[in-house]
Chains A and B, each alone.
Chain A
Amino acid sequence: MMAQTASAERAQSRARVAIRPELAPLVFLVLLSAILGATTTGFLAVDNLVSIVAQVAVVGTVALAVNLVILNGEIDVSTGSLLATCSLVFGAVANSTGGVLWPFLAAVGFGGVIGIINGSLVAFGGIPSIIATLGMLLILRGLLLVKAAVGVLAIDPPSRGLGIDFILGIPVPVLILVAVYVVAEIIVRRTTFGRDVIAIGSNGRAARFIGLPIGRVKVICFTLSGICCGIASGVFFGQIGQLQATAATGFELRVIAAVVLGGTSIIGGSGSVIAPVLGAVLVGVILNGLALNAVPETLEQFILGLLILTAISLDAIRQRLSLRRR
């Protein structure tokens, strides 16, 4: 009897695993890595794998927060310009104070403020999030072009630590990505706020009818997105060393691609916390595989676009199947 219930429970939890949204991208990632490992020398080397993760750490860190925004049923397309602007703040403060801490705090603070503005426009101004954040994307890029039109901004090596240092042999960008992931996982799994994010994204009317603080939750989501841009700017600037006004152009699309490729539904309400990390690593592996096999860089965008369309189509089919099951 006991054994029976236990096995029934196990069957149930297996069923739950089978429908988890991040499963498909995970399987794809493992398969792709196996194929690349077998065909491409140097791919499975630990250094190569770690460097892949380090390369996608900036996208992944921001995508972890944008994932929350998308789970909430909104979208944030301002992250490209915001990352660059935060980097400008980071660089400017670094050049006057030196070190990492103050520039980091300043960038995070700046990102947070912009996030609050984005969120308030959406939650209280009633502006659709794609419009509000698109406006912010253009405004920030415009400010950058005015402020830093000529030349580049460089920082001293001590201030580049977040992008290039190692702790216990692990690159700092990877550590930051993991830390942000852990925090995101705790937020979604264990806090009321995390639950509210998903509840609002999956059925806004029901959320309203039970009195959830919808406006506040939305503002916090966008604020976290801004804060993560601030965190990532330290890594970003550290990795590239010098900043141009056009830096991180198109970054926002790579962030959204990572979220969606990882298995979070673009219409909100369903997805997982690990999705953006998986998606970002998947993109990293593909780009790395292409580079190692000397595929011309010009094909990169084409292949990524194809991949995104495939992933979204599969998601749409999955949703239709599960609807039919209901």
Chain B
Amino acid sequence: MQKIIEKLDVDDVANTSVRAETSCGSVRTLCELKGVGKQFGGTWACRNIDLTVNAGEVHAVVGENGAGKSTLMKLLHGVYIPDEGSIVRDGQTISFRSPRDAEAAGIAMVPQELDLFPDLSVCENLFVGRERPRTRFGTFDWKAMQRESRAVFARLGIEIDVRALVRSLSSASAQMVEIARALLGNAEIVLMDEPTAALSLKEAERLFSIVRELCDRGVGVVYITHRLEEVFENADQITVMRDGAWVHTGPSNQLDKHQLVELMVGRPVQKFFHRTPRSPGEVAVKVQGLGVRGLFENASLELRKGEIVGLAGLIGAGRSELAQTIFGITPAETGSIEVLGRRVKIGSPSAALKHGIAYLPEERRSQGLHLGYPGPWNITFGNLDRLNWFGLTSRKVERTEASKYQSMFSIRGDMSTEVSGLSGGNQQKVLLSKILFQEPDVIILDEPTRGVDVGARAEIYRIIDDLANSGKAILMISSELNEVLSMADRILVMYRGKITGAFDGPDFSSRQIGYAIAGVDAPSSDADLRTVA
């Protein structure tokens, strides 16, 4: 009896595979993720994700910042170990303990950040971490290494001097070296995390022709991108992720750009914070034609007293760079900044602070706080002169001053010990206190709720709202569309170093903004889309 059931099962599987073959040609499944997920400190970065990698197919994974795409790639590459689900490779469930295991299983990764050694030659870079060919005397066989490197590049159809230092290469060529490194191990699956982010259009085209060739040879390619045009031109399958969850998988020819943006942004967008209506005052800061070569160009914006301007865009669109230029960390090369109608020169953060501009950095731990010191210390050290009495500070005054912020922002936790012991949300409130202790008129907030739990988020939104109501001009950078939509009076969108969109509130069209963020033109007839927002 049992035997029959088993047989039936086998037949069933055989039938399905036959069906699969008849429907889309002879497709071989290389690898399957089944319901995988990964959590960090209680929050799931991605959860219950299915993904199938087929031989000869390009599979694009798209989603907003923070959707969990990179985490997914790292699970597939053995950087993280999944907390749920399983990975099936060639019909067998496997678990990777490190990228080395994944490489051994034929899965190679072209990382988002270039992970090359700039002072080694191209050839040496290809062989780092691999078995190097040796001569019979046991020394490295450089000739063989160079021969093998040249062979890989020949396969890719790229001309490159394998003896050149990586430092001397353009970023496009360096990207090619990354790909060559991934191929040297004869990988069957190649993962790419935003491979075209640093490439020009032409270089990207070259990259995709290489990807095509790989696919023709039966390699499966999974790649993350934010450039939606590319997806339709190059991908066979598209998987959409949102907020760490799987949303959609399907052939790319069954979707259009606008449907894709909708899937990414999600709907309906609920406003989770109801801000008080405000009437903005005079212009506090006016920026005209600001630019720093290679980072962003021709940025113009106005911030009024008592308003929140949201700055949306993808990571790498130039938002933080623009903010840091207004704050004087990277002084502007072109353009001008006016504060209260007077043109000013801002060449350093202290100059910016003198003009009343403060900046809440994106990286709380490395750019904002002194983790080994207590809260009051952190809040006051940037502006101790405010408390000083004949040049001498007093611990007591410092504590009193800090406790004002503690009660105002309801910072919970022991303020007399190291801030590293506080939760992310409370650390962020300490950082906000530190910025406000500078008594600024203009506040630039860079991802003010990153790594902050939901409860503390609401409190931080209330603080930001109160600040705007009290007449501060606020520029808020955020990668979370919901956050910008709920908080901002106006929204600016940056795309690839330029301000490409400006939207007035209070009723924003989340779609329109989603299109602008993704660099997609809005559809010609927008009437039927209005209903959602």
Query: Chain A: residues with CB nearer than 8 A to chain B?
Result: 12, 15-16, 186, 189-192, 195-196, 198-199, 202-203, 205-206, 208-213, 269-270, 326
Q: Does B392 contact A (CB under 8 A)?
A: yes
A-B contact pairs, 25 of them (CB 8 A): A12-B417, A15-B417, A16-B417, A189-B393, A191-B391, A191-B392, A191-B393, A192-B391, A195-B384, A203-B366, A203-B370, A205-B367, A206-B361, A208-B329, A209-B329, A209-B349, A209-B359, A209-B361, A209-B368, A211-B352, A211-B353, A212-B382, A213-B350, A269-B372, A326-B421
| Distance from B171 Cβ to chain A, minimum over Cβ atoms (Å) | 25
A205 touches B366 (CB 8 A): yes
Complex Cα–Cα for A195 and B373 (A): 11
Question: Which residues of chain B come closer than 8 Å to A15, judged between CB atoms?
Answer: 417
Within the complex, the shortest CB–CB distance from A292 to chain B, in Å, comes to 40
Q: B420 contacts the other chain (Cβ, under 8 Å)?
A: yes
B359, B361, B367, B392: the one within 8 Å of A190 (CB): B392
Known: A203-B370, A206-B368. A12 touches B414 (CB 8 A): yes
In the complex, the answer to whether B382 meets A202 with C-beta atoms within 8 Å is no
Q: How far does the alpha carbon of A233 sit from the alpha carbon of B366 in the complex, in Å?
A: 41
Known contacts: A12-B414, A195-B393, A326-B371. The answer to whether A206 contacts B384 by CB under 8 A is: no
Q: Could you tell me the distance in whole angstroms from the C-beta of A274 to the nearest C-beta in chain B?
A: 17
Query: Closest Cβ of chain B: how far from A208's Cβ, in Å?
Result: 6
Asked whether, in the complex, the Cβ of A211 is within 8 Å of the Cβ of B370, the reply is no
Interface size on B, residues (CB 8 A): 36
For the A-B complex, the count of residue pairs with Cβ-Cβ distances under 8 Å equals 75
When distances are taken between beta carbons in the complex, the residues of chain B under 8 Å from A186 are: 392
Chain B residues whose CB sits within 8 angstroms of the CB of A192 once the complex forms:
384-385, 388, 391, 393
* B314 CB to nearest chain A CB (Å): 23
Other contacts beyond A198-B373, A206-B369, A270-B372: 6, CB < 8 A = A15-B417, A190-B393, A205-B367, A206-B361, A212-B350, A212-B382
Chain A minimum-CB-distance residue to B377? A195
Contacts A191-B392, A211-B353; is A206 near B438 (CB within 8 Å)?
A: no
**B146 in contact (CB, < 8 A):** no
Q: Which of B366, B381, B385 has the most CB of A within 10 A?
A: B381
Contact with A along B342-382 (1 / 0, CB 8 A): 00000011111100000101000011111111000100011
Residues in B with CB closer than 8 Å to A213 are 350
- Chain B: CB-nearest residue to A319: B372
> Given the complex of chains A and B, what is the CA–CA distance between A248 and B381 in angstroms?
38
Q: Could you give, for residues 9-48 of chain B, a 1 whenever the CB lies within 8 Å of some chain A CB and a 0 otherwise?
A: 0000000000000000000000000000000000000000
What residues on B are CB-neighbors of A16 within 8 Å? Answer: 416-417
On whether A202 and B350 interact (CB within 8 A), knowing A12-B417, A191-B391, A209-B359, the answer reads no
Q: Say whether A326 contacts B420, CB under 8 Å.
A: yes
Task: Report Cα–Cα, A203/B369, bound state, in Å.
Answer: 8
For A208, what are the chain B residues with a Cβ–Cβ distance below 8 Å?
A: 329, 349
Alpha-carbon gap, A259 to B352, bound state (A): 37
* A216, chain B: closest CB distance, angstroms: 10
- Are B391 and A209 interface neighbours, CB within 8 A? no
Q: A195 to B385, alpha carbons, bound, how many Å? A: 11
